[in-house]
Structure 1
Amino acid sequence: MSLLITIAAVFLAGIAVGAFALIVIGIHAEERRASRTDADDRSPCGTASHRLLSSGLADQGRR
């Protein structure tokens, strides 16, 4: 029974790490695309990530 719980925990942890990695990769790709093209041509996701990164909210956790 504990082996099944361990396998489920590892599987769920992998899902969480994978989702976080996709978010980071998506933000990075959007920022690269925005830096190469006009800033007015951002997608809604790109606009939201730009607002978050420029507001300094992401840096408050490091203080």
Structure 2
Amino acid sequence: MKDFNLTSAKDGAKVCTKDGKSVRLLAFDRESASFPIVGLIENRKVCCYTIDGKYYADKDSDNDLRMV
């Protein structure tokens, strides 16, 4: 897996979590300065992310985004 790339993700490149779960990105413009990206993990869990693909702003998580 490669590091998350916002431009590629916006262009439709496949994205997953750090632990390999599939993610469908739903929005990149949520009204939040810290967590503008909205994703759906394995069609079950809605999550919000930083522009760097981080689930938490201040620590790592298995839910952080990666490029497939």
In the superposition, the TM-score normalised over structure 1's length comes to 0.22
Question: Greater strand percent: which structure?
Answer: 2
In the superposition, the TM-score normalised over structure 2's length comes to 0.21
Higher normalized contact order (CA 8 Å, seq sep 6+, divided by chain length) = 2
Question: Greater helix percent: which structure?
Answer: 1
Larger radius of gyration: 1
